[in-house]
């Protein structure tokens, strides 16, 4: 079989979203793979490593007028499918209302990657080591999908169906990621990635979280683990253990016990299970301390 | 081989081509390219601008950095179609009317290059940093963060950061 080379690949360049959806629909009915491409920071790396290329790409980047930018609505913040990390970071309101997502965005690759990489691409790429996607998960974000059949909204909680898999149908396009209004400017947003260095480093282990305290008690807990499972993952057992507690009643051993129910990290080229588990537990402890301290003032 | 003698490769005629219009270092160009061809290859092979280097080909090293629509990008990760209608600045376009950019002068002065493979990309990113912070003080950690996508295996970065600090000061005193 002849491998498809980059110079053989065709790019469909629709001028409107409507045209894009028609092209996807036709390709889907004819059984042809038509893969969307935005900033191409994942797509062209796949090509570089010789992963099987589809014969055709659908260029979403060219739809920036329709799908670009940030829009504040009653429902929340609509992050357009082609909105890049750099664009978001240059928007003071974004940084002010979503400080932990801004921190995650500012640590994706380095400036060159941030100029091209999109939030939507990060979500659809479905890497367990993604940085922005798990923070969006901790913010209760939703994925807006469009096709000729109509539009639907899927909470990120149900979006990743397995390792590098999503529930998006091949005839659907992500049009936006929506961060609900309740999460904007909310208390206790916290993110930290641990990699080999500060930039250009894939996360070995990380925590994207939202911890809301009231009267010294944790009233709302969202913990999303990075590089600890096959997908970015919310930690149901840990969250249940923590909810309603005061900082002083959180026991390190019980915390690690609950964590072990939710997360069974693996050994791989970037790190090993023991390191990941211990560092993750300490990230949870650090997040608890720091968000608690922030509300004590 | 097939690039020089397209007729010899029967698949060449069937390959997809698109015409893109780009402004490279101030000059408008129209070129026929394969749509997914890397901007890096368009610059080096079609436009013969070989100052831009290929290190890793996967977005890690920054040797291929150019400015696209005013921002540094890894040209190895930009498909040709995304350059259509855009302005591109490569290392060849930084000097104006024969005068080196402040960053280039500062690199020479500080001795910021050894083997030189990272230098074009490093200078392009550094020039963007300096030009986008006119008259501002940029703390060293910020400088390092801006340059984090450009890896250098020789210098240890000391003389590079020194040159950027110098260029920022030059810009400030020149107003
Ligand atoms: C050197 C380097 C460093 C990196 N560092 C990090 C890092 O630190 N943290 C991190 O999280 N990621 C990192 N990445 C990965 C990557 O940059 C991000 O995942 C980025 O957000 C992808 O966005 P993109 O627009 O470039 O996606 P693309 O490459 O264009 O697409 C990614 C996937 O999403 C699909 N897609 C894109 N847009 C749509 C749409 N609208 N609808 C449906 N499907 C769509 C594509 O088909 C593809 O499967 C790095 C990559 C490189 C090369
Ligand atoms: S060659 Fe493009 S980043 Fe290394
Ligand atoms: S001078 Fe050799 S890699 Fe930087």
**Torsion over CA of A191, A196, A197 and A199, rounded to 10 degrees?**
-70
CB atoms B149 and A199 under 8 Å: yes
Interhelix angle for A252-262 vs A273-296, to 10°?
120
Contact status, residue A88 vs residue A70, Cβ threshold 8 Å: yes
Whether B60 lines ligand 1, by a CB cut-off of 6 Å, is yes
The residue whose two tokens read 């910020």 is: B142
Q: How far apart are the first and last CA of chain B?
A: 51
- Of B43, B55, B148, B150, best ligand 2 pocket probe by most atoms within 8 Å of the beta carbon: B55
The bound ligand whose nearest atom lies closest to the alpha carbon of A200 is 1
State the Cα–Cα distance between residues B52 and B92, nearest whole angstrom: 8
Q: Which of B34, B36, B62 sits opposite A112 (nearest CB)?
A: B62
* Tens digits of residue pLDDT in A111-159: 999 999 999 999 999 999 999 999 999 999 999 999 999 999 999 999 9
Question: Which is the closest atom of ligand 1 to the Cα of A35?
Answer: 47
pLDDT digits (tens, 9 = 90+) for A225-246: 999 999 999 999 999 999 999 9
B102-174 belongs to which homologous superfamily?
Answer: [2Fe-2S]-binding domain (1.10.150.120)
Q: Looking at residue A1, what is its pLDDT?
A: 41
**Among the partner residues B60, B71, B79, nearest to A200 by beta-carbon distance:** B60
* Report field, pTM of the whole predicted structure over 0.90: yes
Instruction: Please judge whether B149 and A111 are an interchain contact, meaning their C-beta atoms are less than 8 angstroms apart.
Output: yes
What's the complex ipTM?
0.94
Q: Which residue of B has its CA nearest to A10?
A: B16
- Who has greater pLDDT, A5 or B84? B84
Domain boundary assignment for chain B: 10-93, 102-174
**Are B148 and A110 an interchain contact pair (Cβ–Cβ within 8 Å)?**
yes
Separation in Å, CA of A45 to nearest CA in chain B: 5
Can you spell out the DSSP letters for A32-100?
--EEEESS-TTHHHHHHTTPPPPSEEEESGGGHHHH-SEEE-SSEEEEETT-BHHHHHT-HHHHHH-HH
Contact A199 B145 (CB under 8 A): yes
Q: Which of the four CATH numbers 3.30.70.1520, 3.40.718.10, 3.30.70.520, 3.10.20.30 does domain B10-93 have?
A: 3.10.20.30
Domains defined along chain A, listed by start: 2-63 (3.30.43.10), 66-183 (3.30.465.10), 189-295 (3.30.390.50)
- Six token digits for residue B74: 């890894």
pLDDT in tens, chain B (175 residues): 445 555 566 667 778 899 999 999 999 999 999 999 999 999 999 999 999 999 999 999 999 999 999 999 999 999 999 999 999 999 999 999 999 999 999 999 999 999 999 999 999 999 999 999 988 889 999 999 999 999 999 999 999 999 999 999 998 887 5
**In chain A, which residue's Cα lies nearest the Cα of B151?**
A200
Pocket test residue of B60, B152, B161, B163 for ligand 3, highest count of atoms within 8 A of CB: B152
The Å distance, Cα A284 to ligand 2 centre, comes to 35
Mutate to test the pocket of ligand 1, among A12, A20, A25, A36 (most ligand atoms within 8 A of CB): A36
Q: Are A206 and A281 in contact (CB under 8 A)?
A: no
Do the beta carbons of residue A81 and residue A38 sit within 8 Å?
Answer: yes
Residues with CB under 6 A from ligand 3: B 113-119, 152-155
A44·B38 Cβ contact <8 A: yes
Q: What is the pLDDT of residues A189-231, one digit of tens each?
A: 999 999 999 999 999 999 999 999 999 999 999 999 999 999 9
């Amino acid at each position: 079989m002849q491998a498809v080379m980059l110079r053989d690949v065709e790019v469909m360049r629709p001028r409107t979203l409507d045209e894009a959806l028609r092209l996807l629909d036709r390709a889907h009915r004819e059984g042809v793979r038509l893969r969307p491409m935005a900033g191409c920071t994942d797509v062209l790396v796949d090509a570089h490593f010789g992963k099987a290329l589809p014969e055709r790409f659908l260029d979403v980047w060219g739809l920036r007028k329709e799908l670009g930018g940030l829009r504040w609505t009653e429902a929340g913040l609509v992050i357009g499918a082609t909105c890049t990390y750099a664009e978001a970071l240059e928007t003071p309101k974004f940084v002010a209302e979503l400080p932990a997502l801004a921190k995650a965005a500012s640590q994706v690759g380095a400036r060159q990657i941030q100029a091209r990489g999109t939030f939507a691409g990060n979500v659809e790429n479905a890497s367990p080591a993604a940085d922005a996607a798990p923070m969006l998960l901790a913010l209760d974000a939703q994925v807006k999908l469009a096709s000729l059949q109509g539009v639907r909204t899927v909470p990120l909680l149900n979006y990743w169906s397995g390792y590098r898999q999503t529930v998006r149908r091949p005839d659907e396009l992500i049009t936006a990621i929506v961060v609900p209004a309740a999460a904007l400017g909310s208390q206790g947003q916290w993110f930290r990635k641990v990699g080999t260095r500060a930039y250009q480093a894939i996360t070995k282990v990380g925590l994207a979280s939202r911890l809301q305290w009231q009267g010294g008690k944790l009233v709302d807990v969202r913990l999303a683990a990075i590089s600890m499972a096959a997908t970015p993952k919310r930690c149901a057992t840990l969250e249940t253990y923590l909810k309603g507690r005061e900082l002083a009643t959180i026991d390190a051993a019980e915390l690690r016990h609950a964590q072990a129910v939710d997360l069974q990290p693996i050994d791989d080229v970037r790190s090993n299970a023991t390191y990941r588990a211990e560092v993750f537990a300490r990230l949870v402890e650090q997040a608890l301390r720091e968000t608690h301290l922030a509300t004590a003032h | 081989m097939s690039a020089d003698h397209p007729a010899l490769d029967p698949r060449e005629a069937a390959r997809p081509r698109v015409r893109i219009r780009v402004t490279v270092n101030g000059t408008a160009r129209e070129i026929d390219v394969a749509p997914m061809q890397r901007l890096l290859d368009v610059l080096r092979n079609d436009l013969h601008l070989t100052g831009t280097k290929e290190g890793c080909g996967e977005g890690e090293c920054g040797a291929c950095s150019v400015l696209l629509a005013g921002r540094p990008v890894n040209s190895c990760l930009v498909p040709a179609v995304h350059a259509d209608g855009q302005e591109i600045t490569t290392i060849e376009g930084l000097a104006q009317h024969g005068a080196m950019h402040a960053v280039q002068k500062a690199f020479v002065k500080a001795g910021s290059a050894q083997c030189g493979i990272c230098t074009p990309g490093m200078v392009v990113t550094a020039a963007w940093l300096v030009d986008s912070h006119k008259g501002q003080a940029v703390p060293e950690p910020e400088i390092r963060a801006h340059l984090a996508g450009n890896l250098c295996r020789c210098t240890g970065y000391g003389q590079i950061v020194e040159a950027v600090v110098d260029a920022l000061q030059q810009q400030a005193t020149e107003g």
